[in-house]
Amino acid sequence: MSNTRVKFYQTGTFTVGNRLLDDSDRTVQSRPERTNSLNSGHRACQGCGEALGARYAIDAAMRAANNQLVAVNATGCLEVFSTPYPETSWQIPWLHSLFGNAPAVASGVAAALRAKGKKDTKVIAQGGDGGTVDIGFGCLSGMFERNDDVLYICYDNEAYMNTGVQRSGSTPAAAHTATTQAVGSQPGNPFGTGKSIPLIAMAHGIPYVATASVADLHDLEAKVTKAMGVTGARYVHVHVPCPLGWGCDPSYTLKVARLAVESGLFPLFEAEYGEVVARTPIRRLIKVDEYLKLQRRFQHLFGEPGQPAVIAAIQAQAERNIKRFGLVEKGEAK
Amino acid sequence: MLKQIEGSQAMAAAIAMCRPEVISCYPITPQTHIVEALSAMTKRGELGSCQFINVESEFAALSVLIGASATGARSYTATSSQGLLFMAEAVYNAAGLGLPIVMTIGNRALGAPINIWNDHSDSMSMRDAGWIQLHAESNQEAVDLHLQAFRLAEELSCPVMVCVDGFILTHAYERVDLPTQEQVDAYLPPYDPVQVLDPAEPVSIGAMVGPEAFAEVRYLAHHKQLRALELLPRLAEEFAHGFGRSSGGLLSEYRTADAETIVIALGSVNGTIKDTVDELRDTGMAIGAVKLCSFRPFPLAAVRAALQKAKRVIVIEKDLAVGLGGIVASNVRMALRGLPVAVHTVIAGLGGRAITKVSLRRVFTEVHAQSESFAEPHFLDLNWQVVEKELARQAEQRRAGPTAENVLRQVNAIGTRVH
Amino acid sequence: MSHPRPFAITLDPGSSLHNHTGTWRTQRPVYLNRLPPCNNACPAGENIQQWLYHAEEGHYEQAFHALIRDNPFPAIHGRVCYHPCEDACNRGQLDQPVSIHAVERFLGDEAIKQGWLPPAPAPASGKRVLIVGAGPSGLSAAYHLAMLGHKVVIYEAGPLPGGMMRFGIPKYRLPRDILDAEIGRLATLGVTIELNRPVADVAHDMAAGGFDACFLAIGAQLSKRTEIPCRDAGKMLDAVSFLRAVESGQEPVRLGRRVAIYGGGNTAMDAARTARRLGAEETLIIYRRDREHMAALEFEADEALQEGVVIRWLRTIKQMDDSSLTVEEMELDKDGWPQPTGRLEKLEADTLILALGQKPDSGFLAKVPGLQFDKEGVLKVDANLMTGYPGLFAGGDMVPGQRSVTIAVGHGKKAARHLDAYLRQTRYCPPPKPELASFGHLNTWYYSDAERSRQPVLDLLRRTSSFSEIHAGLSADTALFEARRCLSCGNCFECDNCYGVCPDNAVIKKGPGNRYEFNYDFCKGCGLCAQECPCGAIAMENEKI
Amino acid sequence: MLQIRIHGRGGQGVVSAAEIISVAAFREGKHAQAFPSFGSERMGAPVMAFCRIDEREIRLREPIMTPDALIIQDPTLLHHVDLFQGLAADGYVLLNSGRSAEELGIDELFARVPRRHVCTLAASELAREHLGKPLPSGALLGGLAALTGWLQISSVQAALREKFAGISGERNAAAALAAFNRTRAKLAAQEGVHAQAD
């Protein structure tokens, strides 16, 4: 599946499915035969973005790998809600070891498959932002540097949700969490924080790095599919809202994710061997407040007296992204 | 085949003959020679399709093996000291998941102060992690234990540590009888995992287990080690049969038949102990020795049987449970509970301090003579002068500075004295 | 595997299906159909969204059949309907409305080209129905009644069928071959039209023809007049007769060089533009109110202006002389009504055409018992379009209400339904209307950006010198594209969003045309499906606890 | 049991020397045990290595405190390390130096062991000649064989060839032989001196 937009007909490739698209343009999620790698009955919260992102990503990977897939999971929401004894929601071979070692464990799986000559079986490692950008970062960097044949997928919901919404290394500026109170001169998460693992991954010069969002399924599936076609270390960073931790209505999960992209706060791009090779343009450019307003974690920025300066700083950050990645095409954003 | 060879090289050769499929390692003295040798063999293609992975930390090294083992590959690594501590979380995890990984521990002290020399603090720190822990007396036994370790690990689906004294064995050149590949293949069948990550038969490994089943899971881990108690002697016997020499097992006795005093210890110090026992026997002292090979599982029954006839037992151990005393000694006491056998703890060889025949002889004689003055625990060759001086100094000034450096200053001779 | 798997830490795949998370739910999603605004606005009651749905797939014949279930004249309406559907189209709030009329015209023209015919009518009922007048409502009623199995005969006073569609609407808006083709299709349904057959006594004609019921659709043929002092009455004529004369092409109409038209309705515009085409050098419309109060539609006035017609707003005609008109300037009061100012001016004009509206020529019905009329002769009818005389129905321009071809066709359909019920001694009750699908129900992010396609327009020179059609139709490609601009407001079009975005896989896809079903065993009621449904076909309902 | 202690500085091949002795002994059917003084191998730091040779299995793991022979690869250690600690009464001492024992000012040594058990050898020079670099081990081992007579020069050479592959093995073997002969000659000369002295 390519991620070139098909605009013809009502919703083009913006919706999950479309009765008039060529088979090659259809999403995996639109297919009745999709694997539902992450099955019903899991204990994720209502409207969980991570549950959705995981099924999106793994189903696409399964299709790309012809169902010959092994997944390694870091500790976190995804692991806890999907495999509480005595039930698991996974339909694929799946291994959970620790919070901080998923990339290394995946390297081991890949090594074992290589040793056993099982060339057709592919390996995926997945974790939340905590397990990826913080505690698992050392192992991740090692896996990148060795260029092990693993696709690592990070589901980024911007805080430690499993333990009750504490700040992580990818918590955005000004966000209120259980450990970044919305008081004082720098309310919420202090500025200058939040590391971009995609950029750090690029610095390793690995063959493929991409960012994606649950709000843009075609884009996400195209990137996972592309990543699965590459050998070596690959990284896909998926933005997945957490209704609980972000304080927004469960039905807004995709809406919020969409606004993050449309505001420029979460840029969608692809990089190969350390160079950005493609970006997904913003469709309808919006101001960041539209995105921030929907979330309780940013509530302190609004109302009286509010924090106009902070909002302006966040807007500036969004504009830096837009400039850096060229997210707005002439005539593209309406 | 007999060979005059460095311990690390000998072990590497034996491990290679076990046909490992994934080896992962991170450098730390004194285990490095083993993995360096394995790396060279892999590069030379002597290990077939075996994957040798250089990782960024010990934590990653064991994590890689967790993945590899769960995918059905025979997996090996080695570490020491701080490396084992850095691995700790994964050490528990590998055991919890029941993955038959074999790991060599080049036993070394734990800092601070940082110290690269031998004692057993490192492997002792992981004694409750659910791994089987076997200690080698000589490089011959180190070689033999690795062959048994893979067999044991895979039969039980439980990870095994082979503990080898750093430098004393790892860096010692001595005569070793290396097995042939045929012998090893006959003794060690290919790895047949009880669970494997396979798209043809998907399973979820590593589920979250709550109060309703956790205790049972822990009990089953314990039960595994109880089974190891039966399996170890059987494997040793089978080994003796196939290789023509005895190695391993739970423990072995030396001149204990009529011994009133029995010395028990782990690892390479047993050689020096045996020589000392011989000398004391020549003076007519009824003394014997027990070499403990399996520390986990701890062979309570076997230890009791070996020691119960003695009047007194001396535990020589290269570790210290700070605030308690001896770790091995406490285990031995548990084995002897209810029996009128005095158990004496001797903390010796910490951080590479040489354990000499002279010192052992002095201690054995003292204990055998039931001297009242014998302290419990007894710190072998402790320089009381230095200690008292330092204590006094600390007593008079709050900011007494770093103890380690102060002590060194007093014993002014780093590396120049023999002991 | 021969070995038993480790207890508790290793689990068999997919086992969470035992855990029915549906119990967490406090709200449940339900699929529903909302009423599309286009359908709601269509005077002919067309199911526009339905036929667009078929057109989107390029299934034009299917689309045609879906269309003519409600309106037999797509080619005509694609041209002359004022398409209130497009004013209501939600897409208008996104970019521009779907060009529904253009697609309808394309389907109509395609049907003529391909010779598509209506399906076979219902079995013969043995009832006979008389229809008076072969205008839009009469023809529409005839079509629907025939489809319902009744024998229909139309008495038309004029020489040709079509009524205002022929004698009111100029060729350049509705070519006659199109008109004839669509009217011609009625014959295949056994409808007979007797031309030049005026009716003097309905009751008599019904009895004589053995009719069980009758539908009156004589339209509004009489021009309203106003008293203007004038020396030569020959210089003054009314728009209706003017347009009819031009159409029937009998004795040539003499207009002179400068023509003035009095009135601000669509007929005034038609008359002015026709005059231009007949060679009038100056064509002037005089209207007593201003542009925003005129009755004519924007585009009619615009096209007239494009063609060089001049409009003098806020003027009333005081008197007419040989070659000039005296007009008085008006001022609008606060209610928008014109008030005299006393300021007079002279305008040059050789002819004055009065386009001040029409009224029905219903005098001949006076003697029918039970009928009621207003002072302009408009016939009163009940909600079912039946007059005070049992079995006598009426519709179109002759009954109260707004007047347009499409309204008339709608009356024809409505009358047919009730008349059919009357004949079968039942009652026709239209199905209840579902909730309207408003713009707020939509999640418009998902719709592609797609500019409305434009119909080619004839160049000005040929527009003012000939009666050839101004607007060309859409090509197959543009028609397809235009159909696909439909947002399918309020009705599932199977985009798979709900199926895809459910974090709990609680939506079951039932295959093409069969839409979806919720699996309430697992649905946690998060509402994502409803939020992300582009067309607003899912609603959240509270669970009763 | 014979116990040999080697003193030198990190990087001079002290540990290898002990290992090679053990290999040579092994080749003669003996049990041997070689091990370093377990230091972190910093260049230039004083280091020790040990080697035991016996007819039966060697179980003892303590460092060598009462050596039967000492090899001192670096005479500069003489003054700040207690090199002769525990040396047996009839122990041997081989010093790497072009100068005579007398010149080195270690007279106190002669009080402890027979004069003929002390010998110096310009091993670094020999190494330079044969290897092109001053790595004295090979030569010193040849000297040891000559001085003590515990090992056949042939097994020392074989051990060197086993330890150092290819050409450098040959060169070391050559250096060892040269040292063996030179030491032999020196000892013979000393014998002569003593004979006259009697």
Q: How many CB pairs under 8 A join A and B?
A: 167
Is residue B412 predicted with pLDDT exceeding 60?
A: no
Given CB atoms, is C21 within the 8 Å cutoff of chain A? yes
Q: Tokens standing for C289?
A: 């109110």
Q: Is B205's CB within 8 Å of C12's CB?
A: no
User: If pLDDT is split at 50, 70 and 90, which confidence band does A21 have?
Assistant: confident
What is the average per-residue pLDDT within B87-95? 98
Q: What's the complex ipTM?
A: 0.90
Nearest C-alpha neighbor of C492 from the set C472, C506, C512: C512
User: If pLDDT is split at 50, 70 and 90, which confidence band does D194 have?
Assistant: low
Q: Which residues 181-220 of chain A have a CB within 8 Å of chain B?
A: none
Q: Give yes or no for a contact between A57 and A238, defined as CB atoms under 8 angstroms apart.
A: yes
Q: Tokens standing for D133?
A: 């670099």
Q: Give yes or no for a contact between B147 and B187, defined as CB atoms under 8 angstroms apart.
A: yes
The residue written with tokens 């403990």 in the block is B292
**pLDDT-wise least confident of A224-238, B295-309, C338-352:** C338-352
Going from N- to C-terminal start, the domains of chain A cover: 23-325
Spatial CB neighbours of B265, under 8 Å, sequence gap ≥ 6 = B273, B289, B290, B291, B292, B315, B316, B317, B328
What pLDDT does residue A8 have?
Answer: 60
Which neighbouring-strand residues pair with B344?
B314
pLDDT tens track for B60-82: 999 999 999 999 999 999 999 99
DSSP state of A160: B
User: What's C160's domain CATH number?
Assistant: 3.50.50.60
Q: Tokens standing for B416?
A: 């120049």
pLDDT tens track for C65-106: 999 999 999 999 999 999 999 999 999 999 999 999 999 999
**Residue C346 and residue C263 share a domain:** yes
Residue A79 Cα to chain centre, angstroms: 16
Say which CATH architecture domain D2-197 belongs to: 3-Layer(aba) Sandwich (3.40)
| B333 burial level (CB within 10 Å; 0-12, 13-18, 19+) | middle
Query: How far is it, in rounded angstroms, from Cα B308 to Cα B328?
Result: 16
User: If pLDDT is split at 50, 70 and 90, which confidence band does D78 have?
Assistant: confident
Closest partner CB to B67 (pick from A69, A91, A95): A95
The residue written with tokens 């969204």 in the block is C49
Is residue B247 predicted with pLDDT exceeding 90?
A: yes
What pLDDT does residue A10 have?
Answer: 81
What pLDDT does residue A334 have?
Answer: 38
Is residue C290 predicted with pLDDT exceeding 50?
A: yes
Nearest C-alpha neighbor of B146 from the set B173, B119, B109, B106: B106
Distances (CA, A) of C325 to B327, C226, C229: 125, 15, 10
Q: Is A95's CB within 8 Å of B75's CB?
A: no
What pLDDT does residue C248 have?
Answer: 85
The subunits that touch chain B, with at least 3 C-beta pairs less than 8 Å apart, are A, C, D
Q: Is D61's CB within 8 Å of B269's CB?
A: yes
What is the average per-residue pLDDT within C335-339? 89
Closest partner CB to C11 (pick from B97, B207, B216): B207
DSSP state of B201: S
Q: Is B22's CB within 8 Å of A67's CB?
A: no
Question: Which secondary-structure segment (H or E) carries C452?
Answer: none
Q: What mean pLDDT, rounded, does chain B reach?
A: 95
**Residue C312 and residue C412 share a domain:** no
Going from N- to C-terminal start, the domains of chain D cover: 2-197
C390: left (phi over 0), alpha (psi -120 to 50) or beta: beta
Question: Which secondary-structure segment (H or E) carries C294?
Answer: none
Amino acid at C77: H
> How are beta strands C516-518 and C236-238 bridged, if at all?
unpaired
User: If pLDDT is split at 50, 70 and 90, which confidence band does C386 have?
Assistant: very high
Chain B contact set for A72 (CB, 8 A): 67
Nearest C-alpha neighbor of C344 from the set C355, C358, C357, C329: C329
**pLDDT-wise least confident of B262-271, B393-402, D36-45:** D36-45
Determine the distance in angstroms separating the CA of A99 from the nearest CA of chain B, rounded to an integer. Answer: 10
Q: Do chains D and C touch (3 or more CB pairs under 8 A)?
A: no
Given CB atoms, is B57 within the 8 Å cutoff of chain A? yes
> How are beta strands B2-6 and B173-177 bridged, if at all?
antiparallel
Q: What angle do CA C153, C158, C164 make, to 5 degrees?
A: 95
Is residue C234 predicted with pLDDT exceeding 90?
A: no
Q: How many CB pairs under 8 A join B and D?
A: 91
Given CB atoms, is B228 within the 8 Å cutoff of chain A? no
Determine the distance in angstroms separating the CA of B361 from the nearest CA of chain D, rounded to an integer. Answer: 13
Query: How far is it, in rounded angstroms, from Cα C56 to Cα C76?
Result: 21
What is the average per-residue pLDDT within C459-485? 92
Crossing angle of helices D137-148 and D14-27, in 10° steps, is 50
User: If pLDDT is split at 50, 70 and 90, which confidence band does D195 have?
Assistant: low
**Residue C374 and residue C353 share a domain:** no
> How are beta strands B22-25 and B51-54 bridged, if at all?
parallel
Residue-range definition of the domain harbouring residue C391:
128-221+360-423
Which residue in chain C has the smallest CA separation from B97? C9
Q: Is A7's CB within 8 Å of C450's CB?
A: yes
Backbone angles phi, psi at C336, to 5 degrees: 85, 15
Q: What mean pLDDT, rounded, does chain C reach?
A: 93
**Residue C184 and residue C204 share a domain:** yes
What pLDDT does residue D197 have?
Answer: 46
For chain C, the domain total comes to 4
pLDDT tens track for B269-298: 999 999 999 999 999 999 999 999 999 999
What pLDDT does residue D38 have?
Answer: 61
Is residue D81 predicted with pLDDT exceeding 80?
A: no
What is the average per-residue pLDDT within A90-97? 97
pLDDT tens track for A132-143: 999 999 999 999
What is the average per-residue pLDDT within B186-194? 96
Coil, strand or helix at B321? strand
Determine the distance in angstroms separating the CA of A48 from the nearest CA of chain B, rounded to an integer. Answer: 20
**Residue C292 and residue C243 share a domain:** yes
**Residue C297, CB-side half-sphere exposure with 13 Å CA sphere:** 11
Quick one: A23-325 is in which CATH superfamily? Thiamin diphosphate (ThDP)-binding fold, Pyr/PP domains (3.40.50.970)
Of residues B211 and B412, more confidence is placed in B211
Question: Which secondary-structure segment (H or E) carries B213?
Answer: none
Q: Which residues 124-183 of chain B have a CB within 8 Å of chain C?
A: 157
Q: Is the peptide bond before A187 cis (omega within 30 degrees of 0)?
A: no
Given CB atoms, is D198 within the 8 Å cutoff of chain B? no
Q: Is C6's CB within 8 Å of B194's CB?
A: yes
The sheet carrying A122-128 orders its strands as A275-279, A269-272, A208-213, A234-239, A151-156, A122-128, A69-73, A94-96, B204-205, C10-11
Q: Which residues 182-241 of chain B have a CB within 8 Å of chain C?
A: 192-196, 201-207, 209, 213-214, 216-217, 220
Query: How far is it, in rounded angstroms, from Cα C347 to Cα C322?
Result: 11
Determine the distance in angstroms separating the CA of D154 from the nearest CA of chain B, rounded to an integer. Answer: 17
User: What's C529's domain CATH number?
Assistant: 3.30.70.20
Q: Do chains B and A touch (3 or more CB pairs under 8 A)?
A: yes
Query: How far is it, in rounded angstroms, from Cα C168 to Cα C482?
Result: 30
Crossing angle of helices A137-146 and B58-70, in 10° steps, is 70
pLDDT tens track for C141-161: 999 999 999 999 999 999 999
Chain B contact set for C8 (CB, 8 A): 207, 209, 213-214, 216-217
Chain B interface test: which of D42, D43, D56, D62 (most B C-beta within 10 Å)? D62
Which residue in chain D has the smallest CA separation from B165? D61
What pLDDT does residue D189 have?
Answer: 87
What pLDDT does residue D37 have?
Answer: 84
Distances (CA, A) of B286 to B259, C144, C225: 5, 123, 146
Domains of chain B: 2-243 (3.40.50.970), 251-379 (3.40.50.920), 392-419 (no CATH)
What pLDDT does residue B414 have?
Answer: 40
Given CB atoms, is C519 within the 8 Å cutoff of chain A? yes
> How are beta strands C192-194 and C222-223 bridged, if at all?
unpaired
Closest partner CB to C13 (pick from A40, A46, A88): A88
Spatial CB neighbours of C373, under 8 Å, sequence gap ≥ 6 = C362, C365, C379, C380
Question: Which secondary-structure segment (H or E) carries A153?
Answer: strand A151-156
Which neighbouring-strand residues pair with C325?
C320, C347
Q: Is C56's CB within 8 Å of A9's CB?
A: yes
Chain A contact set for C530 (CB, 8 A): 251
The subunits that touch chain A, with at least 3 C-beta pairs less than 8 Å apart, are B, C
User: If pLDDT is split at 50, 70 and 90, which confidence band does B399 have?
Assistant: confident
- DSSP letters, B368-409, are HTT-TT--SSEETT--HHHHHHHHHHHHH-S----HHHHHHH
Given CB atoms, is A225 within the 8 Å cutoff of chain C? no
**pLDDT-wise least confident of A159-163, B24-28, C183-187, C224-228:** C224-228
**Residue C284 and residue C253 share a domain:** yes
What is the average per-residue pLDDT within C181-202? 95
